[in-house]
Amino acid sequence: MSQIPHLNGFSIKNNEWHAENVPLSAIAEQYGTPAYVYSKKALTDAFNAYEKACIKPNGQRRAQVHYAMKANSNLAILNVFAKLGAGFDIVSAGELARVLAAGGSAKKVVFSGVGKSKSEMIAALKAGVKCFNLESIPELSRLNEVAASLGMKAPISLRVNPDVDPKTHPYISTGLKGNKFGIAYDEVIKTYQAAAQMSHCEIVGIDCHIGSQITEISPYLDALDRVLDLIKALADQGIQIHHLDIGGGLGISYTSETPPAITEFANTLLDHIEAKGFGHLEVLFEPGRSLVGNAGLLLTTIEYLKPGETKNFCIVDAAMNDLMRPAMYDAYHAIVPVKLSNQSKANSVSYDIVGPICESGDWLGKDRELAVQPGDYLAILSAGAYGFTMSSNYNTRGRAAEVMVDGDQVHIIRERETIESLFANEKLLPN
């Protein structure tokens, strides 16, 4: 059990894994597998851990949480956060539409991303988003033109690339010189000066996001100090910044990682901002993984056990199209049998957990000690972030069902895709 992360909302009762008060085997039998299972309690508790730091004992708010919904964009999850008072960090017009459909407010939406199209800018301006986080002068010029065509002013923030090493996987590092994100630190003042001359852009903030799955506070403090120096320099130029968006990226425990607790992390950054004399700024957090990562898991059924000369394979009905992280990032997810009553170390075998996709890269876990039989259910833990949102229909496989557990109630929040739905929009050529 040493490789199983601390989980909230999932636990072992009577030798079986449960989501809150519901046995996972009951969920698998009712809804089938593969299926993503989320805990409403875990989502709520994680959000409230941020809120504990964001609101002072006297009730004064010193920061606002904007959920980075690329981590998991199911409408029910967005609705849970919207009801708790969250804003949202989006990267597409599709995500904006999801926020609005889930009951979120456009006024609490920050639009990030390096490649916003004209149509996306128009949709966001008409909806009335809080701010555009911009990442280049060409993007700034395009937004100014689009806003002018609508007779509107676009609220803007520039995303700073502080050239700080977040000490994470290179694919999810975003704050180094070699990354595609943000405006180079030495170009920021000049870019703000250009923005100040644009008639249909209004400077409201500054933004910084250095990466994802970060398990130390020090990179955040390094980046924060660099951004605070910019805010002072901009003020000297007569350019006032009203909000500071410090991004997200706080990591979770997948196995043995020890990231700081959410409230400790948020308090450390907010206290640092105040100690530096910038307590007057509105502060935005953009957490994603730390809100949803350990609030979800992927249920799967064992189809076959295939012994081999050098490897034993446990073939399951979930695959890389359902959970891309292991194949894409070489990521580790703890994998546990749903029922533990038959588990015996004496009978355990080392397996690679693989799916039915026609790729050697289709694996979910390697060298796992399991005592299992075909037909058993497995739970792939810590799959609430970048699980379903990165899934695909590769090999013409329907995407998994999604359910949310609230106490002893199970709610289907996304039906499993049917095979027919996968090609419903395709057309044959005429004879």
Question: 63-287, superfamily in CATH?
Answer: Alanine racemase (3.20.20.10)
pLDDT of residue 212: 84
- E strand or H helix at 264: helix 262-275
In single-letter form, the type of residue at position 59 comes to G
CB 372 within 8 A of CB 337: yes
pLDDT of residue 36: 98
pLDDT of residue 345: 63
The pLDDT tens digits of the residues spanning 122-165 come to 999 999 999 999 999 999 999 999 999 999 999 999 999 887 76
Selecting among 54, 131, 314, 358, the annotated active-site residue is 358
pLDDT of residue 347: 82
Distances (CA, A) of 202 to 36, 192, 194, 205: 42, 11, 12, 9
pLDDT of residue 172: 40
pLDDT of residue 98: 98
**Which residue has 């730390």 as its token pair?**
290
Question: 10-39+293-422, superfamily in CATH?
Answer: Lyase, Ornithine Decarboxylase; Chain A, domain 1 (2.40.37.10)
Q: What are phi and psi of 97, to 5 degrees?
A: -60, -40
208 carries an active-site annotation? no
- Spatial distance between the Cα atoms of 384 and 81, rounded to a whole number of angstroms: 14
pLDDT of residue 1: 41
Give strand pairing partners of 13. Answer: 16
Number of H helices, E strands in the chain: 12, 21
- The whole-chain average pLDDT of the chain stands at 93
Find, among 296, 372, 303, 269, the residue nearest to 76 by Cα. Answer: 296
Q: What's the token pair of residue 189?
A: 């003042």
CB 321 within 8 A of CB 357: yes
Q: What is the largest CA-CA distance in the chain?
A: 73
**Which residue has 């630190």 as its token pair?**
185
| Low-confidence residues in the chain, pLDDT < 50 | 1-2, 168-177
The pLDDT tens digits of the residues spanning 102-114 come to 999 999 999 999 8
- Spatial distance between the Cα atoms of 11 and 256, rounded to a whole number of angstroms: 18
> What is the domain partition of the chain in residue ranges?
10-39+293-422, 63-287
- Report the predicted TM-score, pTM, of the whole model to 2 decimal places: 0.94
